[in-house]
Amino acid sequence: MGGPDWLSDLFAGVMLLTAAYCVSRLVIAPRLHRRTEADVEVVHIAMGVVMAGMFVVALQFIPNGLAAAFFAAATIWFGYHAVIAFRQSANGWTGGHHALPHVVLSGAMFYMLVAGPTSMAAMTSMTQTMSTSVKFAPLGAILALLLFGIAIWYTNQLTSRETAAAFELAGLTSQAAPLPASAVPPAPAGSPVDAAEAAATGVDEPILAPRLAICCHIVMCVAMGYMLITML
């Protein structure tokens, strides 16, 4: 089945904007002494560009085989880190839950690239009915449900008091023993954290715009879930 043209154009535009924002995070974070997940940002950039080409044929320029190989490697990469986190954490879910959504996202991208037409050029648009039957359609439906569930989970992180907790549980906190909150003087609002001072006090650099980072995850999950449903 296919969706309306305007919705495909909208998703394509959002994908490109998300990819551009992820590029800006990689550039801005070091300058502001903030942390960001470089591997996640790179994968999101690739997802945004590739999915924009799936939604709108005029934006297709990345070879299907190259994209499939990239996302296969990304799936293995995040899967490896999820396993490591499970093994190193006293509570496997606490230590590895953050990597699992990226395993699903990368795996879903790989699935879409290999389960449909043999080339991205053959996917003339996600607004048209695909002439080639999708392989392993039940798997696509399961992935779509998982992605929508992950989007809901991420949305719940936005409403929590400590949004950064989603990243802290991912192993992005400082490896050094943190000082008590009462012993750390509060930094001026909006001012960058000095790296040397952070190392001396045991306080790691803060995460760059954690809520916006989570919004990127949500956007990717929703767009990919919609795309999977459209392919079925």
Q: What ranges in 116-209 are assigned the alpha helix state H? A: 137-159, 165-167, 195-201
Average pLDDT, the chain: 77
The three-state secondary structure class of 209 is coil
Q: Is the pLDDT of residue 126 over 60?
A: no
Q: Is the pLDDT of residue 228 over 80?
A: yes
Q: Is the pLDDT of residue 181 over 50?
A: no
Whether residue 60 contacts residue 52, with contact meaning beta carbons closer than 8 Å, is answered with no
Q: What is the mean pLDDT of residues 114-136?
A: 53
**What pLDDT is attached to residue 97?**
61
Q: Is the pLDDT of residue 217 over 60?
A: yes
Q: Is the pLDDT of residue 149 over 60?
A: yes
Residue 108, amino acid? A
**What pLDDT is attached to residue 83?**
86
pLDDT band at 167 (very low <50, low <70, confident <90, very high): low
Give per-residue burial for 64-91: e unless 16+ CB within 10 Å, then b.
Answer: beebbebbbebbebbbebbeebbeeeee
Q: Is the pLDDT of residue 191 over 60?
A: no
Greater model confidence, 123 or 163 = 163
pLDDT band at 134 (very low <50, low <70, confident <90, very high): low
pLDDT in tens, 13-67: 999 999 999 999 999 999 999 988 899 999 999 999 999 998 888 888 888 889 9
**What pLDDT is attached to residue 205?**
75
Percent of the chain with pLDDT over 90: 40
How many CA atoms lie within 13 Å of 29's alpha carbon, on the beta-carbon side?
19
**What pLDDT is attached to residue 169?**
41
**What pLDDT is attached to residue 18?**
96
pLDDT band at 138 (very low <50, low <70, confident <90, very high): confident
Q: How far apart are CA 179 and CA 203, in angstroms?
A: 7
Lowest mean pLDDT, pick from 1-15, 65-79, 86-100, 142-156: 86-100
